[in-house]
Amino acid sequence: MKTFLLGAGASKSYNQSPTGVKMPIARDFFQTFNSLNISSNPWVKIGDIVNYLRDNYGVSPTDFIYFNGDIEEIHSEIGEWLKQSILNVDDIDTILIHKLYMQLLFLFSSVINEIQNGPISKPHINIAKILTPDDCVITYNWDTLMDRALNSTTKWKTDTGYLVKPKLIYKNRWESPVNYQEEFNDSPLLIKLHGSTNWLTSYMIIEEGEFTLTQENSSDVFYVYESTCEPYNTYDGRYMDGYQPFSYGYYPVNVPDKGKSVKEGYALIRMISRDPFTKKGGAGDSGLVSMPLIIPPVKNKAYFLFGGLFQRLWQYAEEALSRAEHIIVIGYSFPNTDVQSSLLFKNAFTKRKTYPYVTILDPCPDRIYEKFKFDFGIPDTHLSIFKEYFSENTPIEKLLSKTS
């Protein structure tokens, strides 16, 4: 059994985007956004982000295009600020900070969607081609580069390939997944530990001092967007066309859920507010307003918001790592915001009776090598290092040789 572990470096390999830019890293996210056409789209909300950077980083609105702050640090501090405002029962501050937090989440997903909106990734196709139904891919990435490569190259389908089962899948209309048990063993699994830009849930609000979703269904119920050939219902009708499968414009399709009922004496405040000077979209707006189901790059990740969904994914990842004969790590360097990752590997390896073979592909592999050798106890005899960037020219078969 082979297990591929993909980090940001794997996504950075994608150089086929019509935008001409690659997936951002933490410190060039805002500059990447400002190089994309969506940066001038009035439907893309950045006003609160710009104001926050002005007030807290001294960045004038005119200098926003040059800002190179670390999005992981900024998203984390806004998240902590939001939690603090909730604890202090400061309703006005909470509403304003929540709006800022959600703008950042939508912007984060939008940048990824814009860049991945092109041909299917050749480096990821090369991985997909050598996978068997017994193998799996574990990824910390939110993009759908691996999803599309598996979908086009193997029997992998969104219906069955994520381990967790979506309630419905959007393929120009909402469809139920195929029989899950019958199709489960036909293809490798793709385990997305931080969610995915094409996973959708209802809009998140704050109710009685807690984060909650507006959907009537339980919080672990999610939807998958795959493709469309016609305008879909979305917030304020703001459908944007011109997107490849697994990608969409700033606003995703609304989900078919009537929404949770409001307790007597309470009102449900719609946290997405439309600028009266911005033109309404031409598509429909029926259904429940949705958002991308991703765990953003913050230090304290709120997996609990989605019930047992991520618990199941992390448990399976641990099991896969405990059983894998060979683990191939591509472009993942154990960043400080992924505290749970170290625990994942430690728990998995304590279950093992033998050492796995570990291959590391990274242009700067020393820190990762030391992590596996000294923190996880993998001996040099079972470690192979490839000091290079992942690309379509990467010899995948050589990575599987267990010798560097």
If pLDDT is split at 50, 70 and 90, which confidence band does 259 have?
A: confident
Q: Establish if 340 belongs to a structural domain.
A: yes
| Residue-level pLDDT at 94 | 82
Residues 48, 27: Cα–Cα separation, whole Å: 20
Percentage with pLDDT > 90 across the chain: 75
Residue 91 has pLDDT above 80, yes or no: no
User: Residue 23 is encoded by which pair of tokens?
Assistant: 């997936």
Residues 40, 33: Cα–Cα separation, whole Å: 10
Instruction: Specify whether 103 is located in the same domain as 146.
Output: no
Instruction: Specify whether 88 is located in the same domain as 219.
Output: yes
Specify the DSSP class assigned to residue 189.
Answer: E
| Residue-level pLDDT at 83 | 83
Q: Establish if 111 belongs to a structural domain.
A: yes
CATH code at position 140 = 3.40.50.1220
Instruction: Specify whether 222 is located in the same domain as 353.
Output: no
Specify the DSSP class assigned to residue 382.
Answer: G
Q: Establish if 366 belongs to a structural domain.
A: yes
Cβ proximity of 176 and 168 under 8 Å: yes
User: Residue 31 is encoded by which pair of tokens?
Assistant: 């500059």
Among 275, 306, 337, the domain-final residue is 306
| Residue-level pLDDT at 183 | 53
Would you call 208 exposed, middle or buried from its count of C-beta atoms within 10 A (0-12, 13-18, 19+)?
Answer: exposed
Instruction: Specify whether 343 is located in the same domain as 221.
Output: no
Q: Establish if 171 belongs to a structural domain.
A: no
Lowest mean pLDDT among 13-17, 78-82, 223-227, 282-286: 78-82
Instruction: Specify whether 361 is located in the same domain as 228.
Output: no
Residue 324 has pLDDT above 90, yes or no: yes
Cβ proximity of 283 and 241 under 8 Å: no
For the segment 276-305, the average pLDDT, to the nearest whole number, is 87
Instruction: Specify whether 104 is located in the same domain as 34.
Output: yes
Average pLDDT, the chain: 90
For the segment 327-344, the average pLDDT, to the nearest whole number, is 87
Provide the domain count of the chain. Answer: 2
| Residue-level pLDDT at 265 | 54
Q: Establish if 136 belongs to a structural domain.
A: yes
Instruction: Specify whether 72 is located in the same domain as 214.
Output: yes
Residue 97 has pLDDT above 80, yes or no: yes
| Residue-level pLDDT at 337 | 65
| Phi/psi of residue 328, nearest 5 degrees | -110, 115
Q: Establish if 239 belongs to a structural domain.
A: yes
Among 306, 341, 361, the domain-final residue is 306
Residue 385 has pLDDT above 70, yes or no: yes
| Residue-level pLDDT at 39 | 95
For the segment 255-279, the average pLDDT, to the nearest whole number, is 66
| Residue-level pLDDT at 184 | 56
If pLDDT is split at 50, 70 and 90, which confidence band does 46 have?
A: very high
Per-residue DSSP letters for 386-399?
E-S---TTS-HHHH
Instruction: Specify whether 31 is located in the same domain as 72.
Output: yes
Instruction: Specify whether 247 is located in the same domain as 392.
Output: no
Which position has the higher pLDDT, 208 or 126?
A: 126
For the segment 139-152, the average pLDDT, to the nearest whole number, is 97
Instruction: Specify whether 150 is located in the same domain as 230.
Output: no
User: Residue 369 is encoded by which pair of tokens?
Assistant: 């090598």
For the segment 234-238, the average pLDDT, to the nearest whole number, is 96
If you average pLDDT over each of 172-186, 206-220, 251-265, which comes out highest? 206-220
CA angle 214, 246, 13 (to 5 degrees): 120
Q: Establish if 96 belongs to a structural domain.
A: yes
- Which pTM value belongs to this model? 0.93
Among 259, 290, 306, the domain-final residue is 306
Instruction: Specify whether 113 is located in the same domain as 213.
Output: yes
Q: Establish if 404 belongs to a structural domain.
A: no
Question: CB neighbours (10 Å) of residue 312?
Answer: 14
**What range does the domain containing 134 cover?**
2-13+121-164+187-193+308-399
| Residue-level pLDDT at 208 | 74
For the segment 119-148, the average pLDDT, to the nearest whole number, is 97
Residue 129 has pLDDT above 70, yes or no: yes
Instruction: Specify whether 74 is located in the same domain as 201.
Output: yes
| Residue-level pLDDT at 237 | 96
